Amino acid sequence: MPKTPDYFVGKTVVITGAASGIGRATALIFAREGANVFSADLDGAGAERTANQVTQNGGKAAALGVDVTDRAAVDAMVGRAQAAFGRVDFLFNSAGAAFRRAKFLEIDDELMDKTFDLNVKGTFYAMQAVVPLMLANGKGVIVNMASMSHKRGGPGASIHYAAAKGAVLTMTLGVAREFADRGIRCLSISPGPIETPFQAAANTPPALLEQFKNDVPMKRFGRPEEIGELVLFMCSDAAEYMTADTVYVNGGGGWR
C-alpha cells in the first residue's frame, strides 16, 4: 500500500495482458485505489470486459485490443492511453506465455521465435514507448513479468520460456540502472506457479501441475490478486528506493 493516502488517484496505469489472470486482477486493484486503468490485451473483448468491470465499480478505464509483438500497435496503445487520461505513470507488462511445453530437443525455431517475440519484444516495445513520457513527467514506474523459471532453467518442459524470462530480467536491470537518476524505477516479479489460464494455455500435463504444487511448501498455487497487490506496492511511494530488483513470490518453493 502507498504511504500517501489517495496516492494513485488520477494517475494512470497501462496493463498488458489485462483480459485475464494476473493482468486483470492488477487492473481491478489499481482501480480500487483510484487509478485510471488502460486495459490492453490481444483478446480485445477480454480487455474490454476488464475495463467495463472497472467502470461499473466507479473507476475510470479504457481498453484496446493490442498485439504486443507489433511495435506500431504498442506505440498506438501508449498514445491512446496518453490521449485518454493525459498521462502515463505506471506500466505493468503482464502479457506473456510459454505457448506449449516442450523438451529441449523438441524446441523448434517457430516456438523459440514466438516465445521471445511475446515475452521479450513485447516487453521491450512497451518500455520504449512509455519511457519518453515518463522522462517528460520526471518520474514513472515499470513492472515487468519475469518468472521463477529463469532460476531453474525450465528443464524438460520450458527452456524456451525460461530463457525469454531471463532476458526480461536482464533488460529490467539495464533499464532500471540507465534511468535511475531521472525518476524512473524499473522492477520485475518472478512468480512461482499461479492459478491463471497460463497453465492450460501451455497444455501443462496434470502430473506436472502436481509436481509444481508439491514443490511449494505452502502446498498451493498463488492467486492472481496476490501478485496484483505486489505490483501496486512496487509502484507506490512506499517503494521509492526499489529499482533494478526482481521479487520472488512462490510460497517458499520453485527453487528445485
pLDDT of residue 202: 56
User: Which residues, given as ranges, of the chain have pLDDT below 70?
Assistant: 198-203, 254-256
pLDDT of residue 12: 98
Domains and their CATH numbers in the chain: 12-249 (3.40.50.720)
- Give the C-alpha separation, 59 to 46, whole Å: 17
pLDDT of residue 210: 82
User: One of 7, 125, 161, 248 is an active-site residue; which one?
Assistant: 161
pLDDT of residue 125: 99
The length of the chain is 256
pLDDT of residue 149: 92
Catalytic: 7?
no
Helix or strand (DSSP H, E) at 16 = strand 12-16
pLDDT of residue 206: 83
pLDDT of residue 212: 77
Identify residue 250 by its one-letter amino acid code: N
Cell of 104: 529441449
pLDDT of residue 201: 56
Is the whole model's pTM more than 0.75, yes or no? yes
